[in-house]
């Protein structure tokens, strides 16, 4: 039951990382590559977890590897997006 409940995350998170990496590939190529690599790792770990089942020897490690790196990837992207305030100025956004 746990695997069934977690499967949407296992599918959506690697896809979201790959999509974000693709979107920023021209402006932040290093971070884009890191996000794409993280998406591949999390997708692989998710596949191993789902195929192996919850009772497999490394199931807990695979589940964590499928979920936790996403937090670090998104934190890295957010860190790069923080606005540097100087003299009341704002960093222009993508729609400015």
pLDDT-derived band at 90, boundaries 50, 70, 90: low
pLDDT for residue 3: 63
Q: Measured between alpha carbons, how far is 34 from 23 in angstroms, rounded to an integer?
A: 13
Average pLDDT over residues 68-72: 90
Average pLDDT over residues 64-90: 76
Mean pLDDT of the chain: 82
Of 17-21, 61-65, 87-91, give the lowest mean pLDDT range. 87-91
Q: Is the pTM of this model over 0.85?
A: no
- In 10 A of CB 14, how many CB atoms? 24
Please state the domain extents for the chain.
2-78
Query: How far are the Cα atoms of 2, 56, 62 from residue 49, in angstroms, in the given order?
Result: 11, 8, 6
């Amino acid at each position: 039951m746990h695997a069934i409940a977690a499967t949407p995350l296992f599918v959506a998170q690697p896809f979201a990382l790959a999509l974000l990496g693709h979107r920023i590939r021209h402006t932040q190529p290093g971070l884009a590559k890191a996000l794409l690599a993280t998406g591949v790792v999390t997708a692989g770990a998710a596949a191993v977890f789902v195929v192996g089942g919850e009772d497999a020897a490394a199931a807990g490690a695979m589940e964590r590897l499928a979920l936790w790196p996403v937090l670090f990837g998104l934190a890295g992207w957010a860190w790069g997006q923080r606005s540097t305030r100087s003299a009341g100025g704002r960093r222009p956004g993508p729609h400015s």
